[in-house]
Structure 1
Amino acid sequence: MECAEELATLSICSCASRLKLLRSLVRDAASLAGLGDEDVDAVVLSVNEACTNIMQHAYRMDPGGRIEVTLLDDGDALVVRLRDYAEPVDPAAVYVRDLEELRPGGLGLHLISSLMDEYGFLDPPADGGNLFQMKKYAARDRGRS
């Protein structure tokens, strides 16, 4: 594939009741992008965790916040972009903690780092908010079947 194909975009309010719909969409998109069952589960769990982090930390459980999820097939991987409209995050302040340093509820980024092939904040959008991207390569591109 020569260019990234946008498989789906979903805009949800910042409330946990929308995560079931999101998980279903992510599962379908990951399968369509050629990921195996284990990798599909990893992506679904990572997206759920990242959105939960946005709800808790960026929006402080305010259901009026908005999260935009874009799912792309770039030919090699499924790319997930999560956009929020909260106060900008300092990417240097968001890091994977050692397991000994974890606080209750502090496993989110640790989990994402163990399940996804790439992840991180992209340059913030010009009109504010944050843009977080995760990538999971299809098994065929990692030499697995």
Structure 2
Amino acid sequence: MRLRERDLVTVYLKRWQEIEDDEGNSIKGYSNEAIELKMNVQSAGGQIAATLYGSELPYVKACKYQGEVVIQEKDGICLYTKLLIQPLTLEDFNCLVHSLVGNDDSINPLMNKKIISPNLKPDYEVISIQPYSTHLNITLKRI
């Protein structure tokens, strides 16, 4: 089975990690780097999902992923935030400055772009992975 290109959404994977500091304390959290993935993301539905998740069903997504990146449970997915991979152009920077200062009454073209910082936590967490021969069925839950 191949996933349709038009149904794929760009999401960003942030790995779950546990690190020990100098004093031996365990620090748990998400990595600072984000890995770009293409997934088919849908709202979870059906009688079984309603039985499993109950009132939390609106916060659960069902995804299909086909690719080389290894995804594990507890990894974070940034679904509604996007990375600015290219540096800002001078026009975009000026527009951003004017919108922050409030001197510009025009519509800001950067309003739909969201910047994800390394410290920003993901929107969703991977709670289950079902491997198939050609793809993975991944269930995400809102954090």
**Is TM (by shorter chain) over 0.5?**
no
Q: Which of structures 1 and 2 has the bigger CA Rg?
A: 2
TM category (shorter chain) comes to 0.3 to 0.5
Q: Kindly indicate which of the two structures has a greater share of residues assigned to strand.
A: 2
TM, length-normalised to structure 2:
0.33
- Higher helix content, 1 or 2: 1
